[in-house]
């Protein structure tokens, strides 16, 4: 059964934060479908100018580049294309247990209008002046809420000072049973062990290594794909441009591979990695796959790791989690 969020559902969603292109709301209702989820809603610039939406999500060159990914090239919306890129390109490479591509949920215009009205007071005024909820959208992206530690514990927004470090340590006390002052140190051990055990860093590295020419090389293949004169080689002059002759003499398929691998590797280099931990109430041996045993506190923790990939499509280049 397809879910459509309507006007009276808006009260269950509260403002969490926003970036340049999207708003993030978290769920405070009781539906099992949405508990533990955040919602990402696209913003539209405040303007009297009526913009005409592109009929196709991807450009002709983007469709050529991703021609082997049927789901991606047939998508009719750039936002959806971004999710499909994560689902069908990044997820198989990084491992399905490490990637949450999210899920689109249909919404009514009245739902979006109601959200816009409810959250406006909590948004930074300069953000309100620049953009509003895009009420022309008919869907929003639903994702797992990974921000269990975000309430501000520093979160990267401010430099850590003594006060923040103390507050962080105090919060950890309910979670890590270490002696006074040792909770943060225990958390670092926990993170390091979970990272090692998950294998997620190796997986990321393998995908990052798909690209071996970087932007300085990929740009030549890009000009060949788009049948344009290579501006880089023109600037360099004949002699210096000779080292890129092999890239320019590659077949179209090889040029497509170079650019595709560059974009995939760049996505893997720019992704966020979220780790979640949950102490086991019953102790346990710690021998299972997704658990870590913390020797210093004799506690066992379940953990999960999740990559949040940024897509190579402009309109969805903002981080998928909780924007600052
Ligand atoms: Zn060139």
State the pLDDT at residue 256. 96
| 123 belongs to a structural domain | yes
Domain presence at residue 163:
no
Is residue 280 domain-resident? no
Q: Indicate the pLDDT class of residue 53, thresholds 50, 70 and 90.
A: low
How far does the centroid of ligand 1 lie from the alpha carbon of residue 62, in Å? 20
The residue among 201, 195, 208, 172 whose CA lies nearest residue 290 is 195
User: What CATH number is associated with residue 38?
Assistant: 3.30.200.110
142 is written with which tokens? Answer: 């639903």
Integer CA distances (angstroms), 316 to 21, 116, 160, 166, 259, in order: 7, 20, 30, 37, 19
In a domain, 40, yes or no: yes
What distance in angstroms lies between residue 315's CA and the mean position of ligand 1's atoms?
28
pLDDT digits 0-9 by tens, 64-95 = 999 999 988 888 777 788 888 888 999 999 88
Q: From the CA of 260, how far away is ligand 1's center (Å)?
A: 17
Domain count, the chain: 1
Query: What pLDDT score was predicted for residue 243?
Result: 92
| CA–centroid distance, residue 219 to ligand 1 (Å) | 7
Q: Is the pLDDT of residue 166 over 80?
A: yes
Q: How confident is the model over 206-252, as pLDDT tens digits?
A: 999 999 999 999 999 999 999 999 999 999 988 889 999 999 999 99
Confidence class for position 18, pLDDT limits 50, 70, 90 = confident
Q: How open is the CA angle 112-115-117, to the nearest 5 degrees?
A: 110
pLDDT greater than 80 at residue 266: yes
The answer to whether position 217 is within a domain reads no
> Has residue 314 been placed in a domain?
no
37: containing domain = 4-45+54-59+77-149
* Domain assignment of residue 93, yes or no: yes
Distance 214 CA to ligand 1 centre (A): 13
Measure the CA–CA gap between 87 and 102, rounded to whole angstroms.
8
In a domain, 14, yes or no: yes
- Rounded to the nearest whole angstrom, what is the distance from the C-alpha of residue 230 to the centroid of ligand 1? 5
CA of 248 to the centre of ligand 1 (A): 6
pLDDT band (50, 70, 90) for residue 321 = very low
Q: Is the pLDDT of residue 289 over 60?
A: yes
């Amino acid at each position: 059964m397809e879910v459509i969020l309507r006007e009276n559902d808006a009260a269950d969603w509260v403002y969490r934060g926003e970036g340049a292109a999207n708003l993030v709301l978290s769920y405070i209702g009781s539906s099992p479908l949405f508990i533990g989820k955040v919602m990402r809603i696209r913003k539209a610039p405040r303007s009297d100018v009526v913009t005409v939406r592109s009929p196709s999500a991807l450009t002709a060159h983007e469709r050529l580049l991703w021609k082997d990914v049927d789901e991606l090239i047939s998508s009719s919306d750039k936002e959806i294309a971004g999710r499909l890129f994560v689902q069908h390109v990044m997820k198989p490479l990084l491992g399905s247990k490490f990637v949450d591509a999210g899920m689109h949920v249909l919404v009514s215009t009245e739902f979006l209008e109601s959200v816009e009205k409810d959250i406006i007071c909590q948004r930074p005024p300069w953000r309100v002046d620049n953009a509003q909820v895009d009420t022309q959208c008919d869907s929003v992206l639903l994702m797992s809420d990974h921000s269990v530690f975000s309430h501000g514990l520093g979160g990267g927004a401010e430099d850590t000072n003594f006060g923040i470090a103390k507050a962080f340590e105090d919060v950890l006390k309910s979670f890590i049973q270490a002696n006074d002052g040792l909770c943060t140190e225990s958390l670092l051990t926990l993170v390091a062990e979970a990272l090692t055990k998950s294998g997620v860093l190796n997986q990321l590295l393998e995908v990052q290594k798909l690209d071996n020419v970087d932007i300085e090389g990929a740009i030549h293949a890009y000009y060949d794909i788009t049948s344009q004169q290579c501006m880089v080689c023109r600037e360099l002059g004949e002699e210096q441009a000779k080292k890129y002759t092999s890239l320019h003499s590659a077949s179209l398929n090889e040029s497509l591979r170079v650019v595709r691998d560059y974009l995939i590797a760049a996505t893997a280099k720019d992704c966020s990695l979220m780790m979640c931990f949950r102490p086991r109430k019953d102790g346990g041996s710690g021998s299972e796959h997704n658990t870590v045993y913390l020797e210093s506190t004799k506690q066992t923790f379940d953990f999960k790791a999740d990559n949040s990939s940024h897509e190579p499509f402009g309109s969805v280049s903002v981080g998928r989690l909780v924007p600052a």
